[in-house]
């Protein structure tokens, strides 16, 4: 699985330990420290290619982290936010949208924290599946999607959600 680590923490030892824990949990990961030299197009393409987005945030505000957090949510990526020695209500607001928030401080064992968060995030990840349908159903689905200016998968997804809500 592929992941990206976005951080505004300059403490190299902590970031490297965190990156190691991500890799020990089975991820190929790229680290991006957000600073003046960060390239938005590179970061956006890394988010696009990643299965998961890890955010390691210090107590200092960083609008870039907020922007890339929003881009990750927009791309429907599970986001694991680790707040270093503080709490941030901003991220708590998004908990229903594939966002896991953890507080990281000196009393918490990093390996356990990352491992637990990864296990939860794997459950949240979107799954892909293919199936065959007769040509007449496909033609109907395509015409409905085109009329609604949406995708075939979003039509099917909404049908499943409606059925689940009705029968649960």
Mean pLDDT by groups of 10 residues along the chain of 168 residues: 85 85 83 80 90 82 83 87 73 65 77 84 77 93 94 91 91
Supply the angle between the helices 12-24 and 110-124 in degrees, to the nearest 10.
Answer: 50
- Tokens representing residue 25 in the block: 């949990």
Q: What fold characterizes domain 2-124? A: Rossmann fold (3.40.50)
4: which strand partners? 30, 53
Residues 6+ apart with CB under 8 A from 111: 21, 24
What's residue 136's pLDDT? 95
In what helix (H) or strand (E) does residue 30 lie, and over which residues does it extend? Answer: strand 28-33
What's residue 134's pLDDT? 94
What's residue 1's pLDDT? 83
Cα angle at 99 between 98 and 105, to 5 degrees?
155
- Tokens representing residue 124 in the block: 């949240």
Cα angle at 1 between 50 and 67, to 5 degrees?
25
What's residue 31's pLDDT? 82
């Amino acid at each position: 699985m592929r992941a990206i680590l976005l951080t505004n923490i300059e403490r190299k030892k902590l970031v490297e330990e965190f990156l190691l824990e991500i890799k020990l949990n089975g991820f190929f990961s790229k680290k991006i420290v957000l600073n003046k030299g960060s390239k938005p197009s590179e970061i956006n393409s890394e988010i696009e290619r990643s299965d998961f987005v890890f955010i390691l945030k210090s107590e200092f505000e960083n609008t870039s982290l907020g922007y890339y957090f929003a881009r990750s949510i927009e791309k429907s990526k599970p986001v694991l936010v680790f707040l270093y020695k503080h709490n941030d209500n901003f991220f708590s607001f998004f908990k229903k949208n594939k966002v896991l928030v953890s507080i990281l401080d000196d009393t918490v064992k990093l390996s356990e924290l990352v491992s637990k968060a990864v296990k939860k995030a794997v459950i949240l990840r979107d799954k892909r599946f293919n199936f065959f349908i007769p040509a007449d159903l496909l033609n109907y689905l395509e015409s409905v999607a085109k009329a609604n200016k949406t995708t075939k998968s979003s039509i099917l997804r909404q049908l499943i959600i409606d059925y689940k809500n009705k029968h649960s």
